[in-house]
Amino acid sequence: MTTAAAIDRVVHHSVILEMTGPSWRGEEAKQRNVSAAATAAETKPE
């Protein structure tokens, strides 16, 4: 069975929900990246 056929069998009987709005995981990742960049800038030797 190909991958497409397997996915078709699973999705055929399922209900697909479309979620809109901001991703809380994405927001947390942005905050981690900003704080990591700030920490790196503070500890960077000159």
Question: Which pairs with CB-CB distance under 8 Å and at least 24 residues apart come from 32-38?
Answer: none
Domain residue spans of the chain: 20-46
Q: What's the pLDDT at 28? A: 92
Task: Give the whole-angstrom CA distance, residue 24 versus residue 29.
Answer: 9
Task: Give the whole-angstrom CA distance, residue 26 versus residue 7.
Answer: 26
Task: Give the whole-angstrom CA distance, residue 46 versus residue 33.
Answer: 22
CA distance from start to end of the chain: 59
Q: What's the pLDDT at 10? A: 85
- Enter the pTM of the model: 0.43
What tens digit of pLDDT does each residue of 1-46 get? 699 999 898 888 888 889 898 888 989 999 988 888 878 777 766 6
What tens digit of pLDDT does each residue of 1-13 get? 699 999 898 888 8
